[in-house]
Amino acid sequence: MRISKFFISTQKEAPSEAELISHRLMLRAGYIKKLASGLYTWMPLGLRVLRKVETVVREEMNKGGGIEVLMPAIQPAELWQETGRWEVFGPQMLKIRDRHDNEFCFGPTHEEVITDIARREINSYRQLPVNFYQIQTKFRDEVRPRFGVMRAREFVMKDAYSFHADFDSLKQTYEVMYDTYTRIFTRMGLQFRAVAADTGAIGGSNSHEFHVLADSGEDGLAYCPTSDYAANVELAEAIPSSMVRAPTGETMQKIITPGQKSIEEICTFLNVSPQQVLKTIAVLDAENNFILILLRGDHMLNEIKAAKIIGEFRFASDDEIHRYMGCRTGYIGPVNAAVRILADRSAATMSNFVCGANDDGFHYISVNAGRDFNLEESNVHDLRNVVAGDPSPDGKGILELCRGIEVGHIFQLRTNYSEALNATFLDEQGKSQFFEMGCYGIGISRIVAAAIEQNYDEKGITLPAAIAPFQVGILPIGMNKSETVKTATEQLYKNLDAADIEVLLDDRNERPGVMFADLDLIGVPHRVVIGDRGLAQDVPMVEYKGRWDLEAQFIPLKDILSFLRSKTTHITSLP
């Protein structure tokens, strides 16, 4: 492609509202243009990357036995009312009335539509299993769309839905999809991790998220470098410390701690470590029962884990704390507290610790559960986020933490949707059964942003070759002045094109500085500079530099084609 026949519009600066590096770089490189809040046009460069991601996903889904379909974006309300999600889905769903005042939505997902197709088209176990997928534009009306295409309102998604005669078959396809996703992200050249995920409201079954690893990721992940354990921090189990609880020491003592309310303040004031201080958190459950949750001072409450024990809950207000405990927020503790008490496993192994005295300006020291307050074994649970250094739940090492961007999610839905929509088939015995179902999503457009979060430097985008917009950039120096440069440039361009190597020729007649900066910004893996100086040597030379190389090197002009061919294997090509 010649830039003169293409459309490149790079910018020096990104708008200040773009917080994320991928958002800034995609705007600056002209990958995308904003139309309105959460709505972006994919410009020619960006679309090439999007299409490559799409191509990799499609090819691997086909290999994994997926069968492509295309469902309407606009869906009738009736189906959503059948599953009860019309109301439940909330304002993220873009609801629409047509000219006849019938209700529709712009599909945020397609469980209802595909299950409706299955209940009408699949009658017999002989048609099972089947795994339908589509690559399609979806819409979720985010309250505050941001981060560019990372969290846009309109986005491209691959969603797949599998139907099975029994749970074993579902588990098999789930495994195949797990492997397919692994192949997809590996082939794209991304660093990623599959982690066990929370199954949320649907409950019970297996679910994995696929995360592209990046410091800017919204999700915290825990993994064990010496085993294959990995989980979202929301879900990772903090297993009981093997450490034996230290023996009880001297008698509990009430001390004056004026103005020392936070863990940090009390540690400094008493010169103790947070591990020696009890963190007490007050919450109210759905029936407004007041509950104290005890954690070690250096640990954080995991709200998902807590909700699994006490159901839906909220944090107590200052007023409620005062009403139930008779003191201000910073001074509460379990001693003499006539309320329900839950303790995290690590808190339960503490001895001789510091905690609030339920008296403004006072703490207790040398406190021990059992002796100084009652703590039943049945009230001790895993209630905290894991931290780096915790033992891995599989017993095979020590956990580390990292951050990730969720780009895929696979899910064993079981019979949730087939029951809601009364979707059945006849089994081998002629008996009507609900379909077992799985669903498998990939955020196609989000992957582009996530890949850039992981692959950039101070000059711009450094996407892996598999999804880069072009493979080779040719920068001719003084092409319009030197016939030699022009001839060598045109010849190499023609040869690369004939060899099916995607090449971008900068024939704009711009200053070299502009050409170099643009090519580095937009993220082309291989750069060839053709100039009179190199061509004038005894053996005519051109300059080559890989986007990740520190130094350029000179390659004889006669060898450059085979050199580039060896550098550009295993790429994804577009028509």
Q: How many angstroms separate the CA atoms of 453 and 446, rounded?
A: 11
Residue 542 sits in the site that holds its own copies (CB under 8 A): no
Alpha carbon distance, N-terminus to C-terminus of the chain: 12
Mark the segment that binds its own copies (CB under 8 A) among 59-67, 166-174, 198-206, 349-357. 59-67
Q: Using CB under 8 A, pick the residue from 17, 19, 81, 98 that binds its own copies.
A: 98
- DSSP H helices in 96-166: 111-121
Q: How many angstroms separate the CA atoms of 457 and 455, rounded?
A: 7
Here's the x/- map for its own copies, 279-308, by CB under 8 A: it reads as ------------------------------
Q: Using CB under 8 A, pick the residue from 15, 81, 84, 127 that binds its own copies.
A: 127
- In the complex with its own copies, which residue's Cβ is closer, 120 or 570? 120
Residue 251 sits in the site that holds its own copies (CB under 8 A): no
Mark the segment that binds its own copies (CB under 8 A) among 62-70, 290-298, 397-405, 511-519. 62-70
Residue 43 sits in the site that holds its own copies (CB under 8 A): yes
Q: Using CB under 8 A, pick the residue from 14, 21, 76, 320 that binds its own copies.
A: 76
Residue 9 sits in the site that holds its own copies (CB under 8 A): yes
- In the complex with its own copies, which residue's Cβ is closer, 66 or 393? 66
**347 close to 294: Cβ distance less than 8 angstroms:** yes
C-alpha dihedral sign at 276, 281, 285, 290: positive
Mark the segment that binds its own copies (CB under 8 A) among 38-46, 361-369, 381-389, 419-427. 38-46
Mark the segment that binds its own copies (CB under 8 A) among 90-98, 166-174, 414-422, 521-529. 90-98
Residue 28 sits in the site that holds its own copies (CB under 8 A): no
Residue 5 sits in the site that holds its own copies (CB under 8 A): yes
Collapse the DSSP code of 170 into the 3-class scheme (helix H, G, I; strand E, B; otherwise coil) and give the result: helix
Residue 487 sits in the site that holds its own copies (CB under 8 A): no
Shortest spacing between CB 1 and its own copies, in angstroms: 9
Residue 493 sits in the site that holds its own copies (CB under 8 A): no
In order of 105, 113, 137, 141, 161, the CA distances from 70 in angstroms are: 17, 11, 10, 22, 12
Q: What is the DSSP letter of 111?
A: H
**70 close to 58: Cβ distance less than 8 angstroms:** no
Q: Using CB under 8 A, pick the residue from 15, 19, 72, 215 that binds its own copies.
A: 72
Residue 187: closest CA among 456, 487, 442, 503: 442
Residue 143 sits in the site that holds its own copies (CB under 8 A): yes
**228 close to 32: Cβ distance less than 8 angstroms:** no
Residue 62 sits in the site that holds its own copies (CB under 8 A): yes
Strands 541-546 and 526-530: antiparallel
Residues 154-173 within binding reach of its own copies (CB under 8 A):
154
Q: Is the peptide bond before 225 cis (omega within 30 degrees of 0)?
A: no
Residue 444 sits in the site that holds its own copies (CB under 8 A): no
**366 close to 403: Cβ distance less than 8 angstroms:** no
- In the complex with its own copies, which residue's Cβ is closer, 258 or 575? 575
Residue 480 sits in the site that holds its own copies (CB under 8 A): no
Residue 539 sits in the site that holds its own copies (CB under 8 A): no
Q: Using CB under 8 A, pick the residue from 18, 23, 29, 42 that binds its own copies.
A: 42
Burial of 60 (0-12, 13-18, 19+ CB in 10 A): buried
Q: What tokens does 343 get? A: 């303790």
Please provide residue 416's backbone torsions phi and psi, each rounded to the nearest 5 degrees.
Answer: -55, -50
Q: Using CB under 8 A, pick the residue from 20, 29, 49, 50 that binds its own copies.
A: 50
The beta strands (E) that lie in 313-399 are given as 313-315, 340-344, 353-356, 362-367, 380-381
Q: Using CB under 8 A, pick the residue from 96, 202, 256, 286 that binds its own copies.
A: 96
Residue 121 sits in the site that holds its own copies (CB under 8 A): yes
* Complete DSSP assignment for 260-306: --SHHHHHHHHT--GGGBEEEEEEEETT--EEEEEEETT--B-HHHH
Give the residues lining the site for its own copies (CB under 8 A). Answer: 5-7, 9, 33, 35-36, 39-44, 47, 50, 55, 58-59, 62, 65, 67-76, 91, 94, 96, 98-99, 104, 106, 113, 116-117, 120-121, 127, 130, 132, 136-137, 139, 141, 143, 153-154, 575
